[in-house]
Structure 1
Amino acid sequence: MFFNKNDKIEKVDKILTNEAFEELQVDFADINLAIESGDHFEVHYHGTEDKQPVVTQNEQQLRLKQPETDRKNGRFWQKGLFKIEVVTSSDVGKVKITIPKDHHLREAYIGLASGDTKMRDINIDELEFGSASGDLKIDKLNVNKLSLSIVSGDAKLDQVKIDSGNADLTSGNFILKNSQIMKILAVTTVSGDNLIENVEVDQCDLTTLSGDNTIFGGNATHAQIGKETNGSHLKMSAVSGDNTVK
């Protein structure tokens, strides 16, 4: 027999705040996050009442923190010592943050223990993202300083303009497409592949201990793409995986 852990927990669907902010700080345990442009400021939450994030707004900074709880998502079946956990998409809460289009955030710190993150059409001076388990997907991002750290999950970036930054993945793939690197981007993966496709960069350095390095279909470790020797620079390093530049 299945038991629903959420039977006695009310679900809510509400706007947490619509106040303007310049800095964003997010601390979630197991909530999915979406940040996208719109015509106004808004933070919307859909999920169980006991996991509704606490909102703290001080001057120009917005903080969202998921309260601590021992309850996990989903349903379970148990007979004696045997237990089976089943988690569906409807069991996981979601926060959607809307920022006015063309508004420029000064800083965003996002930390997730478990949950997927999507970002679309955002302008940020400095973005720091950390996740223990979950995928990151970014479409249309302008960022001066980027720092990504993912333990288990993939990072997929499309139409991104990066001044400088780094991406560190332990177990997962890194994909960057249709983008522009202004100064330097360093990508490191332990177990996973790195793919760069249709990205404006002057120089590439690829290293791997167990895998292949490919630039424009040929095996290589270094390539000068542009004419300027002091132009933008891409470094990719993998312990077990392939580095590919197309």
Structure 2
Amino acid sequence: MMVKVQGYLQSDIKNFFRFSENYSTKPAYFMMLFLCVVTYGYSQQTFDAANKQYDVLQERIKKKDTLIHYITKHYECSQVLSGRIDYYYEADKLVLINHLYKQGLANLWTSEDYFIIDDTLKIKTLTTEETIHLNTEYKKDEKGSSSIRVEKVIEVVEQRMFFDSNTTSTCFARKHAKNGLDWDAAYFNSLALKESNCIEYDDEIRDKYKLLRKAEKKLNVGYSYRKQQCIFYMW
């Protein structure tokens, strides 16, 4: 009887502690869930605010706002790696770095924007544009003779990395492919940015940003056909 009673009591005690454990963890679980939602909402709001500022700055640059001035620097490390860097300033403060470079033998140019608020990197935009030539076979007449037509397709992929001082980066992206003759930049810019996986690492971007800031002081202004410095071997 003692064994049965003891077993019965042990069963009740186990159930009690199991109930207490579940009951005590629920508030903690909901609190963690609440904090995640709040953090995500705050991050989304801060990204939206910075993103809006970035888009406004882009429009001002496009319209040649006289309050914004820039300098251009070029570099060439080899036949397969060269680029151009534009530094944009407002009230003597650096607000944007545009880095356009070509790497490799393929006809692929990459454009990067580094949007800066109060001397702090906030948004890094990577835009890749690739021209694809497709061979399209079509019939020419009723006899069945055919010929090959080359169709030029432009594919653009843009990813924006948002840097918050308290967290790692959050990434958003959009992409579009269209026949070269029908490409519409305004339509592409109207596409919504959707949260996506980051294709670049935070540390790499921060290191590249530091390199571009050094190049701001070290590289010569303008372009010289005689000799170009290499961005990686100046120091």
TM-score with structure 2 setting the length:
0.24
TM-score with structure 1 setting the length:
0.23
The structure carrying a bigger helix percent of its residues is 2
The structure carrying a bigger strand percent of its residues is 1
